[in-house]
Amino acid sequence: MDVADEVVIAEAVASLFLPHLRPPLLALCFSGTSMNPKDFRSLAHQMVDWMADYVEQAGDHPVIPDTQPGDIRAQLPSSAPQEAEPFAQIFADFQRTVIPGMTHWNHPGWFAYFPANHSPPSILAEMLTATLGAQCMSWQTSPAATELEQVVLDWLRQMLGLSESWVGSIQDTASSATLVALLSAREQATQHQYGMKGAAADNADRLVVYASTEAHSSIDKGVKLAGYGLNQLRSIPTDENFAMDPNALEAAIEEDLAAGLQPACVIACVGTTSSTGLDPLEAIGALCKKHNIWLHIDAAYAGSAAILPEHQYILDGVEYADSFVFNPHKWLFTNFDCSAYYVRDVDTLLRTFRSDPEYLKTVYDPQVVNFRDWGIPLGRRFRALKLWFVLRSYGVKGLQEHIRNHITWAQELGEWVEASLNFELLAPVPLGLVCLRFHPPSVQDEEALNALNEALLAKVNQDPRFHLTHTKLRGRYTLRVSIGQLYTTRQHVVELWNLLQTTADQL
Amino acid sequence: MDVADEVVIAEAVASLFLPHLRPPLLALCFSGTSMNPKDFRSLAHQMVDWMADYVEQAGDHPVIPDTQPGDIRAQLPSSAPQEAEPFAQIFADFQRTVIPGMTHWNHPGWFAYFPANHSPPSILAEMLTATLGAQCMSWQTSPAATELEQVVLDWLRQMLGLSESWVGSIQDTASSATLVALLSAREQATQHQYGMKGAAADNADRLVVYASTEAHSSIDKGVKLAGYGLNQLRSIPTDENFAMDPNALEAAIEEDLAAGLQPACVIACVGTTSSTGLDPLEAIGALCKKHNIWLHIDAAYAGSAAILPEHQYILDGVEYADSFVFNPHKWLFTNFDCSAYYVRDVDTLLRTFRSDPEYLKTVYDPQVVNFRDWGIPLGRRFRALKLWFVLRSYGVKGLQEHIRNHITWAQELGEWVEASLNFELLAPVPLGLVCLRFHPPSVQDEEALNALNEALLAKVNQDPRFHLTHTKLRGRYTLRVSIGQLYTTRQHVVELWNLLQTTADQL
């Protein structure tokens, strides 16, 4: 039988089936597994019962597992199985091996780092996103995903009080978005020569970036990766509130200009990681405008607070900026990853990131936004859906209520610390983070205080109900109490404060 | 009442509740929404029924929606709601507005681009991942996620036949991973001076990158972003099979060396996007070794085929390379995003990407892997879980069966095209992609053939059952039939071939 005959027969066979392929289709996706076609529905229902239990019992796990390096690995086979394994076995291993080794970020006793919240509506959306499995690189590869992203990013823009001149997209993280900003600034400063000529571009070795000493580590990393070179990053001192000193910034810019260098980018932080310091955007922005410097604002954590009218002041001066990032996955109850990146000049963004190979061209390209050209990765998940579900499920007022509570509780804790004889605040509490240390009157040596607080943190973290992390502020070992987890109540904060006091007493 | 009194009272209140906070906790995560605490379970079950229906009816939607730019946006309000909306309303809008505007990547008639597969076990894992909501930047922020990632990446390494010298991590996409490779190569070529001094580093303006004319657009983009400058990318010609010509590569390297330039990186493609061309790794690798050039292998699509013993040859020579990427989210039935990036020299990777601020330090750092230092973003999702579920649910043999079928069907289609009088193959069919065009004997003009095939593609894509995309090979407009979707059967391929023939006849 030759190929042509085979085709005829195959077509005849196909005509018997098409377009009614449903039963063989479903079976096919299980082919090779030990599942049968009805299993997906029943297994997914089983997952849901586990998920709902997990949400209900969020506080029952120890926040941090009692796991030593290598413990999990030792429980797992060293090679993939050749034959399909029953799902019941896999799920049992998930419960037995993975769960006891997880850090539970959605625990009510989560006071570490900054929050990374899930929420019920966000989880529901992630279920649908995973099922669609769409790759949203271009408008045509997911029109609804692209347009929904445009719409919800515009909703967020309004909620934060940004002007209509801002256009948003979803990136994975603020660190990536900041790298996108640094690359855009590099291209703007060199009239897009850097991308073409690299280090041979005019002034390539003269570009300078400015950020405060309190800026996030992703800025140092971004300055390295984007090719400025870490030596070209000026660390600007901060004031007593850990906010960038604009006079020091001005002096640094003037000095660099006098030396024949080219100030290319200033990164201002709204809510620094160590202490939620708030850089003065108005003063910084005026300097950037005067010297035509790209201003990027990193409000990764704090940006969400700007949806509260009483906290929108933290963004005063944002209209001077060229780019702005904040993370709904931190404090807006939308599952990681979901970072909102706004720019004003889309053309510079596109000239920096667009590529247009034949195999990605579509007839719609002249009319549409292709978000693949708005950042580093080509492929993109459908991340707008969870944001849409969250914004609608809570409404602006519901979101405000949660964030307002967190800030209120943080400020209460701040007052308790200030009223205490044995503890002190090491930074103001403008938002949901309280920076404190144990400081009994009998101990004045800074080294001794650092050792004492390091010991206090280790002891407090032995309590399975809570997890805190630390930083150093002006060399002082600082306990960070970050209040922003969806399940955290005022009682948890009270109980943590109680634990801090009783543990310190025993040191 | 002063603050201290308030603390006493609050503590008394808290002691009544703790540690039995379960009921108020669950209520809290719904506070501000119109859901009640029991709703998460019932809503998630409702999602599952929709999801299982969607999987069962994968073939019932048109692959590409009948949507014009702006259609979706026009159906959505211009601002976020102030008040919480009922979930029933949100879910109804999802079904009414989003679904009819989606491109269905998991449709059995998906022959476009390359596949981006979901699969039942992968969806189940994503449900759990979303519920845990863990941020896996460091070992301590998710020990099980870190160690599971180490384990499954080692399983994959073995499945592909890579030696034990390779160490893997999960990145979002191959485009990001390729940028990571280019940045690592830049740092290696300048002894880590570029990251510190930028364009002022010795030889910064002399670094050269090499890839074939068929290399993916992310390589051009990465060369721009990493600061080499696009002018420093040499496009090496390919042979008749669209594989890089190693003699041309050698000549280009020699020429650059003679001009005092520094060859820094060669990117070899295993399975080019346009036609699955296979660059000859042995010959390229020997050149890289001779000249001490970083060799990165981009096997984004094709890498998965190396789990078949009969196709492992595509990676012959991989042991010359410094870095290697392939995407389980393309052809290994693991939800996007999941890109596996392997390196040999972890120290160079860490020196390029590590940052170590005080607030991220943990006591375990000297003993553990912190994957935040293995790439660009700080934050990381728990992506190893879905890979673990997939590898175990199908087993190696189950995965092999699916990929083997796809390749077999592609090669059959290739034979039918070759046997046809009116169609021709424009590239070999080593894997799951068939590059073809309509070429009736009566038409010889290349421009006319291009126009004819562009028209054919547009017409075929009007059929709601199928979606194809195109490329250009040596200037020839080429229809790409990519066979790799989990629900695709041989009958779909037969039916598509039928449609191509009947549609062409009507042109």
**What three-state secondary structure class fits B54?**
helix
Q: Identify the closest residue of chain B to A133 by CA–CA distance.
A: B118
Give the CA dihedral A224, A230, A234, A235, nearest 10 degrees. 90
Q: Are A315 and A158 in contact (CB under 8 A)?
A: no
Whole-angstrom distance, CA of residue A478 vs CA of residue A194: 41
Q: Are A90 and B392 in contact (CB under 8 A)?
A: yes
Which chain B residues contact residue A229 at CB under 8 A? Answer: 194-201
Q: Are B360 and B372 in contact (CB under 8 A)?
A: yes
Whole-angstrom distance, CA of residue B496 vs CA of residue B486: 16
Which chain B residues contact residue A482 at CB under 8 A? Answer: none
Chain A closest-CA separation from residue B247 CA (Å): 26
> For chain A, what are the domain ranges?
143-381
Radius of gyration of chain B (CA): 26
In this complex, is the C-beta atom of B5 within 8 Å of any C-beta atom belonging to chain A?
Answer: no
Q: Identify the closest residue of chain B to A6 by CA–CA distance.
A: B416
Of B474, B409, B470, B475, nearest in space to B436 by CA: B470
B481 beta partners: B434
What digits encode the pLDDT tens for the residues A194-208? Answer: 999 999 999 999 999
Whole-angstrom distance, CA of residue B305 vs CA of residue B326: 10
What digits encode the pLDDT tens for the residues A237-268? Answer: 999 999 999 999 999 999 999 999 999 999 99
What digits encode the pLDDT tens for the residues B287-319? Answer: 999 999 999 999 999 999 999 999 999 999 999
pLDDT at A26: 56
Q: From residue B215, how far is each of B178, B266, B269, B297, B482 by CA, in Å?
A: 12, 11, 6, 11, 18
In this complex, is the C-beta atom of B254 within 8 Å of any C-beta atom belonging to chain A?
Answer: no
Whole-angstrom distance, CA of residue B175 vs CA of residue B182: 11
3-state secondary structure A371-388: HHHHCCCCCCCCCHHHHH
Residue A446's contacts (CB-CB under 8 Å, 6 or more residues apart) are A475, A476
Judge: A358–B472 Cβ closer than 8 Å, yes or no.
yes
Q: Among all chains, which residue has been given the structure tokens 């499920």?
A: A393
Is B134-381 in CATH node 3.40.640.10? yes
- Pairing state of beta strands B233-236 and B207-212? parallel
What digits encode the pLDDT tens for the residues B137-146? Answer: 999 999 999 9
Q: From residue A149, how far is each of A203, B106, B491 by CA, in Å?
A: 37, 21, 36
B205: pLDDT strictly greater than 70:
yes
pLDDT at B25: 53
A17: pLDDT strictly greater than 50:
no
What digits encode the pLDDT tens for the residues B224-238? Answer: 999 999 999 999 999
pLDDT at A12: 45
* Average pLDDT of the residues in B23-47: 76
Sequential DSSP letters for A174-227: HHHHHHHHHHHHHHHHTTT-HHHHGGGSTTGGGEEEEEETTS-HHHHHHHHHTT
Q: Which of A4, A106, A497 is facing B419, going by the closest CB pair? A: A4
pLDDT at B3: 43
Whole-angstrom distance, CA of residue A257 vs CA of residue A244: 20
pLDDT at A3: 43
pLDDT at B27: 65
Q: Which CATH number fits the domain A143-381, given the four candidates 3.10.580.10, 3.20.20.70, 3.30.1360.30, 3.40.640.10?
A: 3.40.640.10
Q: Identify the closest residue of chain B to A378 by CA–CA distance.
A: B175
Q: Which of A85, A126, A173 is facing B130, going by the closest CB pair? A: A126
Amino acid at B466: F
A497: pLDDT strictly greater than 80:
yes
Judge: A198–B207 Cβ closer than 8 Å, yes or no.
yes
pTM: 0.94
Report DSSP state, residue A471. Answer: E
CB pairs under 8 A between A and B: 631
Q: From residue A272, how far is each of A117, A233, A475 by CA, in Å?
A: 19, 17, 16
Report DSSP state, residue A124. Answer: H
Of B255, B251, B199, B192, nearest in space to B227 by CA: B199
| Structure tokens given for B424 | 């021709």
pLDDT at A29: 73
What digits encode the pLDDT tens for the residues B423-474? Answer: 999 999 999 999 999 999 999 999 999 999 999 999 999 999 999 999 999 9
Per-residue pLDDT band for B16 (boundaries 50, 70, 90) equals very low
Whole-angstrom distance, CA of residue A20 vs CA of residue A24: 9
pLDDT at A432: 98
Whole-angstrom distance, CA of residue A303 vs CA of residue A283: 19
Residue A356's contacts (CB-CB under 8 Å, 6 or more residues apart) are A365, B217
Judge: B391–A80 Cβ closer than 8 Å, yes or no.
yes
pLDDT at B415: 98
* Average pLDDT of the residues in A26-35: 71
Q: Are A378 and B175 in contact (CB under 8 A)?
A: yes
Report DSSP state, residue B98. Answer: I
What digits encode the pLDDT tens for the residues B419-435? Answer: 999 999 999 999 999 99
Q: Identify the closest residue of chain B to A224 by CA–CA distance.
A: B195
ipTM of this model? 0.94
Q: Identify the closest residue of chain B to A391 by CA–CA distance.
A: B80
B109: pLDDT strictly greater than 90:
yes
Per-residue pLDDT band for A36 (boundaries 50, 70, 90) equals low
* A471 phi/psi in degrees, rounded to 5: -150, -175
Q: Are B334 and B117 in contact (CB under 8 A)?
A: yes
Judge: B40–A55 Cβ closer than 8 Å, yes or no.
yes
The mean predicted confidence, pLDDT, of chain A is 94
Query: From the centroid of its chain, how far is CA B150?
Result: 19
Query: From the centroid of its chain, how far is CA A301?
Result: 8
Chain A closest-CA separation from residue B317 CA (Å): 23
| Structure tokens given for A339 | 């970072």
* Average pLDDT of the residues in A171-185: 98
Whole-angstrom distance, CA of residue B465 vs CA of residue B471: 21
Of A431, A486, A406, nearest in space to A299 by CA: A431
B435 beta partners: B480
pLDDT at B20: 37
Whole-angstrom distance, CA of residue B296 vs CA of residue B343: 9
pLDDT at A272: 98
pLDDT at B61: 94
Whole-angstrom distance, CA of residue A398 vs CA of residue B83: 7
Which chain B residues contact residue A174 at CB under 8 A? Answer: 378
**What three-state secondary structure class fits B286?**
helix
pLDDT at B467: 97
Of B436, B473, B429, nearest in space to B453 by CA: B436
Please give the helix or strand (H or E) that residue B271 lies within, else none: none
* Average pLDDT of the residues in A404-429: 98
A25: pLDDT strictly greater than 60:
no
Of A506, A484, A496, nearest in space to A399 by CA: A484
Count CB-CB contacts under 10 A for residue A348: 18
What digits encode the pLDDT tens for the residues A443-479? Answer: 999 999 999 999 999 999 999 999 999 999 999 999 9
3-state secondary structure B208-240: EEEEECCCCHHHHHHHHHCCCCHHHEEEECECC
In this complex, is the C-beta atom of A14 within 8 Å of any C-beta atom belonging to chain B?
Answer: yes
Which chain B residues contact residue A337 at CB under 8 A? Answer: 377, 379, 381
What digits encode the pLDDT tens for the residues A48-91? Answer: 999 999 998 888 999 999 999 999 999 999 999 999 999 999 99
* Average pLDDT of the residues in B477-503: 97
Amino acid at B83: E
pLDDT at A331: 98
Of B157, B130, B47, nearest in space to B95 by CA: B47
Q: Are B209 and B266 in contact (CB under 8 A)?
A: yes
What digits encode the pLDDT tens for the residues B238-275? Answer: 999 999 999 999 999 999 999 999 999 999 999 999 99
Chain B closest-CA separation from residue A105 CA (Å): 5
What digits encode the pLDDT tens for the residues A292-345? Answer: 999 999 999 999 999 999 999 999 999 999 999 999 999 999 999 999 999 999
pLDDT at A59: 86
pLDDT at A407: 98
A19: pLDDT strictly greater than 60:
no
Per-residue pLDDT band for B13 (boundaries 50, 70, 90) equals very low
A145: pLDDT strictly greater than 60:
yes
In this complex, is the C-beta atom of A296 within 8 Å of any C-beta atom belonging to chain B?
Answer: no
- pLDDT over 70 for what percent of chain A? 94
Q: From residue A166, how far is each of A153, A175, A447 by CA, in Å?
A: 10, 20, 47
Judge: B81–A395 Cβ closer than 8 Å, yes or no.
yes
Whole-angstrom distance, CA of residue A456 vs CA of residue A468: 11
In this complex, is the C-beta atom of B338 within 8 Å of any C-beta atom belonging to chain A?
Answer: no
Report DSSP state, residue B276. Answer: -
pLDDT at A350: 97
Per-residue pLDDT band for B12 (boundaries 50, 70, 90) equals very low
Per-residue pLDDT band for B36 (boundaries 50, 70, 90) equals low
A:361-400 residues touching chain B, CB 8 A cutoff: 363-364, 367-368, 376-379, 381, 385, 388-389, 391-399
Report DSSP state, residue B462. Answer: T
